[in-house]
Amino acid sequence: MKLLSSYFKEMKIAARGFYFYIEIFFAVILLVILLVAVNEKSVSKQKEFLYYDMPEAFKEFVIQRQIDKGALKLIEPTEFKMKAIGFEVKNEETGEVETYNFDAEIISLRTYQEYDLDTGELNKTAYIADNEEDMIRLAYQEQKIGATVAVNDQGERSFRYYNQGYETDKFVNLLYILHNKTPDVLAAAVESQEVTKLGDIQTLNNRENLVPVMVVFMGSLMGFFIVMAYIYLDKDEGVIRAFAVTPSSIWKYLLTKTMVIMTTVVVSSSIITIPVMGLQPNYFLFYLLLIISTFAFASLGLFISSFFDTISKAFGALYIIMIAMMIPAFSYYIPSFDPVWLRFFPTYPLLQSMKEIIMINTDLGYVLTYSAVFLGGGVLLFVLANFRFKKTLTV
């Protein structure tokens, strides 16, 4: 009962403060950004600069054939403001280096959008230069790939790629072998590949894919930061010392603070999740994991704050932990980058579990396992924090 009445009292105080409303305002802003500024389907921003080293008529024929197939679409020409610049280009086979120097000027290029014939989605935007030098300086200035497509007297196609230099050997090797003397044979071989998919697994669209990141980083993880701010505020105002002479125990005080943060996180995360995801997620699991993970991060915050007198002194630890916890976002957005060491960061399974929850076919075992891990970890940290605070009696 004491715990509950303390919680309601703390909630009343929080509702009178600025922070609670900022959290809600922040969640509304994120929701507006998600609904207005984030497209459900990703739009390719890939660009390439091309020069066709072949007779004009043949070049037009090649392009028109792609347009007729629906793979290319002519759009408005693009103007590029070219800077006065000088640079060197190295031929990777011969080692020969050629120096280029250009004056500032404005170049207008024919621009095409290239579409995937199967899905109809935009693959990339291609800019066609009138001469090879323009293509090379554009590839250099814009830091994008550039290529010359040439046709020799025998009608054979060849390619000169202008790479930036940081491309991996594997990628360059791939560029080499993708262009061989028998492109038709290769196309037929690709078509004949047998592909088996283990399941019809649902994928999240661009907007939905952002929900776990926002809930984890703006919700659960913020509990870690905010609980520390709450503790130091109370400490500054002498609330902690006053608490020491009341019949209530320290763990109840700490839990009350954590419960206020859990309430704030539940409200702000609901504002973001419900309008974007509708009824798709398993909300029981969603709120279970959200509350448990916020509790675990808040307990971590309590534990860390027990080692420092002021928020200024705790700031270093706070900052380093917050940033470290954000690193798994790289793996979340680049699934092929998934080193083993990254899986030990608590936010890695948390992001994956949140993702599982908002999908139709949730991996229940995975989510419940990590919910149990976060609960266990949270309880342990809470007990340790309580022990530390009781020992120092200063909270």
Among positions 249-288, residues that touch another protein (CB under 8 A) are: none
d(CA 302, CA 229): 10
Per CB under 8 A, does 179 bind another protein?
yes
Shortest Å distance, C-beta 36 to another protein = 12
Residue 156 lies near another protein (rule: CB under 8 A):
yes
Least distance from C-beta 269 to another protein, angstroms?
Answer: 14
Structure tokens at 194: 């047998």
For another protein, which is the closer residue by CB, 267 or 379? Answer: 267
Among 8, 58, 61, 176, contact with another protein (rule: CB under 8 A)? 176
Tell me the DSSP string of 18-70.
HHHHHHHHHHHHHHHIIIIIS-SS-----EEEEEEES-HHHHHHHHHHHHHHT
Residue list 82-111, contact with another protein (CB under 8 A): 83-84, 87-93
Apex 202 CA angle, 196 and 206, nearest 5: 120
By three-state DSSP, how is residue 105 classified? strand
Binding flag, residue 8, another protein (CB under 8 A): no
Helix (H) or strand (E) holding 255: helix 250-277
CB of 226 to another protein, least distance (A): 6
- Closest approach of Cβ 99 to another protein, in Å? 12
d(CA 212, CA 353): 9
Structural contact between residues 349 and 264, judged by C-beta atoms closer than 8 angstroms: no
Question: In this structure, are residues 73 and 117 in contact, taking their beta carbons and an 8 Å threshold?
Answer: no
Q: Residue 157, interface with another protein (CB under 8 A)?
A: yes
Least distance in angstroms from the C-beta of 194 to another protein = 5
| Closer residue to another protein, CB minimum distance, 2 or 313 | 313
Q: Scanning residues 26 to 85, which ones bind another protein (CB under 8 A)?
A: 26, 29, 33, 45, 83-84
Q: Which two tokens mark 30?
A: 């994120």
Residue 363 CB, nearest approach to another protein (Å): 9
**Amino acid identity, residue 275?**
P
Name which of 119 and 131 has its Cβ closer to another protein.
119
Is residue 323 near another protein by the rule CB under 8 A?
yes
d(Cα 85, Cα 100) in Å, to the nearest integer?
8
Cα 247 to Cα 23, 244, 250, 259: the distances in Å are: 32, 8, 10, 20
338 lies in the site for another protein, by CB under 8 A: yes
Residue 88 Cβ vs another protein, minimum distance, rounded to whole Å = 7
User: Least Å distance between CB 390 and another protein?
Assistant: 23
Helix axes 283-305, 221-236, angle to 10 degrees: 40
Over the window 196 to 235, marking each residue x when it contacts another protein by CB under 8 A and - when it does not, the resulting string is xxxxxxxx------------------x--xx--xx-xx--
Minimum distance from CB of 14 to another protein (Å)?
A: 9
Amino acid at 197: K
- Compare residues 299 and 305 and give the one whose CB is closer to another protein: 305
As measured in angstroms, the least distance from the Cβ of 340 to another protein is: 11
Our CB check for another protein shows the closer of 281 and 301 to be 301
| 218 Cα distance to chain centroid | 13
Which amino acid appears at position 61 of this protein? F
Question: CB-wise, 182 or 247, nearer to another protein?
Answer: 182
Query: DSSP secondary structure string, 257-309?
Result: HHHHHHHHHHHHHHHHHHHHHTT-S-HHHHHHHHHHHHHHHHHHHHHHHTT-S
Label residue 109 left, alpha or beta by phi (over 0 means left) and psi (-120 to 50 means alpha): beta
If DSSP codes are grouped into helix, strand and coil, which group holds residue 204? coil
Judged by beta carbon, residue 178 or residue 393, the one nearer another protein is 178
The answer to whether residue 174 forms part of the interface with another protein (CB under 8 A) is yes
Instruction: For the segment 116-135, give every residue that binds another protein (CB under 8 A).
Output: 116, 119
Binding segment toward another protein, per CB under 8 A, in 66-74, 164-172, 240-248, 371-379: 164-172
